[in-house]
Chain A
Amino acid sequence: MGSRASTLLRDEEIEEIKKETGFSHSQITRLYSRFTSLDKGENGTLCREDFQRIPELAINPLGDRIINTFFPEGEDQVNFRGFMRTLAHFRPIDDHEKNKDPNVSEPLNSRNNKLLFAFRLYDLDKDDKISRDELLQVLRMMVGVNISDDQLGSIADRTIQEADQDGDSSISFTEFIKVLEKVDVEQKMSIRFLH
């Protein structure tokens, strides 16, 4: 029938999401419209098939890993709040948020949380460490059949060697942050809205 954006999402809900994620009112209604258009089953939640129906996501080599980040442990459905919470990681960092009071909880789109999002894409078993195997698996997803096992293995070894500081042959989150400390995370892991 066409999306009925602000009529189905109550003002209180919009306020709560605004506080939690920092998106503006119009951005939230626009993303809600997107959420409902993806929700083919019309039951207020998205399942993995709903995401896989997006062609540009289906051809992304890490498409499945990205879809996984939306679903909390063991669940197969994500509602609008969960959807927004994950998308909030990609909100650009406003200037006034940069030097925040350390007592206030970290916003979802802080540099740290953006790096954590990327770290979790590598960390397949969620043990807060990227092992050689996990790195190999993710690399294999990204290159397909175009690189031999040996070459890929040596790439993985080299990467871990450079990043690993405590000698446990795996990359922890702190080591991950150190490797990427000069990368412009704020810009490269942010999506800007046009309005």
Chain B
Amino acid sequence: MGFFLFPFDSLICILLGISFTVWFTLLLVFIIVPAIFGVSLGIRKLYMKTLLKIFKWATLRIERGAKEKNHLLYKPYTNGIIAKEPMSLEEEIKEIRGSGSSKDLSSPEFEMSDIFYFCRKGVESIMDDEVTKRFSPEELESWNLLTRSNYNFQHISLRLTVLWGLGLLIRYCFLLPLRVTLAFTGVGLLVVGTTMVGILPNGRFKNFLSEKVHLMCYRICVRALTAIITYHDSENKPKNGGICVANHTSPIDVIILASDGCYAMVGQVHGGLMGIIQRSMVKACPHIWFERSEVKDRNLVAKRLSDHVEDKTKLPILIFPEGTCINNTSVMMFKKGSFEIGTTMYPVAIKYDPRFGDAFWNSSKFGMVSYLLRMMSSWAIVCSVWYLPPVTREEGEDAVQFANRVKSAIARQGGLVDLLWDGGLKREKVKGTFKEEQQKLYSKMLVGNPEDRSRS
């Protein structure tokens, strides 16, 4: 038996050797070299167009199949499923009272029908609320051949199932290993490159080299995710001494922004691989890493940030004021800390196209590694980045108002819903002060303005 296998063994070895060489040459020529020079060969855009055509066909096929079998399809609607009145508490309760009572409406009093307002508002929020749906992936209207985002997947047609199977094969057996190789290359080059640059004495040459190394490695990482990014309004790119603020959807946001410009990162010191990357990055140019204990001390954080922005030779800081990942359909409350520092803010809006792969990191469901694997096994990450014009705090505006102004600008540009709710509601309960506000508003309707009464 062994004698038969022997000649085949060496044949297999030769074949494997050849295929590896071809693989690496292709990788080098088509992906890594363009990344080093910041050039794009247009392969990813072509890929994207082809995929879109296939998705359209797949969705039509599902709809046709469902009609034939007389199934009713589930169609998701991101704009909400119920009609909500945009009236205030006062207006609504007056309306309810007005329809039933013939009494004078301007005098404050209680009516038993007032309870209808709270009742309906409560049940409306049970049917559909603005907050909880921001912490789970956006629902798509067309299918993108990933079962993880499909609600109607039943065996509709052989062709569709074959296509899905083919897609699975391509994604896991071709794209995933390719991307993982690129990712390791990118990260490895980052660590090695920044350590080498760190040996040089501080000066313009070091900054120049550090910039080149950072950009090159982030570009390789961008290709490791097959991220197709469109940058708009690059004349507004952040400059030294400023703070760049953006909406947060996933850790990939950092890679996307950093492959187009150089930033000083802010974050907690980690151990393990992240720690190695952090330590080597800081050798080449100053980033701001906080110890776990320092994070709680808001004064210390503010001081370090303001020291950094005052030094005009240091890079602009990149901050995500939402504090947590949101699912890219809305922008939630910006924490005011970075808006108190008093320097120029450069808002950036990042909008992902969910048709190719959902970039949202649901950190309560998936860890970092499984998240990255999901990212690398989806079709592509397609997103748009808008650099908005720089803003500064105006006279008489406090940090919260400033933060809200910047947030609205980002939401408007990215086509996202502007919410006042705190992203921290993903994990924590809402503060009692909001309920008290509601109660105060309602009390005014019962007894009139409390400013008329003396309060101790």
Interface 1/0 per residue, B62-106 and A, CB below 8 Å = 000000000111111101111100000000000110011110000
In angstroms, Cα B224 to Cα A15, docked, is: 49
Check: A103 CB closer than 8 A to any chain B CB.
no
Check: B26 CB closer than 8 A to any chain A CB.
no
Q: Is there contact, CB below 8 Å, between A62 and B118?
A: yes
Give the contacting residue for A142; candidates B80, B132, B148, B439; CB below 8 A. B439
Q: Is there contact, CB below 8 Å, between B123 and A61?
A: no
Chain B residues within 8 Å of A87, by CB: 123, 126-127
Chain B residues within 8 Å of A60, by CB: 118, 121-122, 125, 435, 438
Q: Given A60-B438, A142-B118, A180-B113 in contact, is the A55-B421 Cβ separation under 8 Å?
A: yes
Chain A residues within 8 Å of B116, by CB: 118, 183, 185, 188-189
Give min CB distance, B142 to chain A, whole Å: 15
In angstroms, Cα B75 to Cα A25, docked, is: 12
Chain A residues within 8 Å of B71, by CB: 6
Interface positions of A from 25 to 74, Cβ below 8 Å from B: 25-26, 29-31, 33-34, 37-38, 51-63, 66
Give min CB distance, B346 to chain A, whole Å: 31
Q: Is there contact, CB below 8 Å, between A180 and B72?
A: no
Check: A4 CB closer than 8 A to any chain B CB.
yes
Q: Is the interface of A mostly helix, strand, loop or mixed?
A: helix
Give min CB distance, A125 to chain B, whole Å: 17
In angstroms, Cα B442 to Cα A40, docked, is: 33
Please tell me which stretch of B31-39, B40-48, B149-157, B185-193 contacts chain A, meaning at least 4 of its Cβ atoms lie within 8 angstroms of it: B149-157
Check: B131 CB closer than 8 A to any chain A CB.
yes
Interface size on B, residues (CB 8 A): 68
Check: B49 CB closer than 8 A to any chain A CB.
no
Report the tally of A-B residue pairs with Cβ distances under 8 A: 193
Chain A residues within 8 Å of B75, by CB: 26
Q: Is the interface of B mostly helix, strand, loop or mixed?
A: helix
Give min CB distance, B64 to chain A, whole Å: 17
In angstroms, Cα B122 to Cα A151, docked, is: 27
Most chain A CB atoms below 10 A, which of B129, B152, B421 = B129
In angstroms, Cα B348 to Cα A129, docked, is: 58
Q: Is there contact, CB below 8 Å, between B129 and A54?
A: yes
Check: B447 CB closer than 8 A to any chain A CB.
yes
Q: Is there contact, CB below 8 Å, between A192 and B100?
A: no
Q: Is there contact, CB below 8 Å, between A61 and B442?
A: yes
In angstroms, Cα B112 to Cα A138, docked, is: 11
Give the contacting residue for A29; candidates B74, B99, B113; CB below 8 A. B74
Residues of B within 8 A of A (CB): 71-77, 79-83, 95-96, 99-102, 109-110, 112-133, 136-137, 139, 148-154, 421, 425, 429-430, 434-440, 442-443, 446-447, 450
19 A-B pairs in the complex with CB atoms less than 8 angstroms apart:
A2-B149, A5-B151, A6-B151, A30-B77, A53-B429, A55-B132, A55-B425, A55-B434, A57-B129, A59-B430, A87-B123, A90-B120, A117-B119, A155-B109, A171-B112, A184-B99, A188-B120, A190-B120, A195-B77
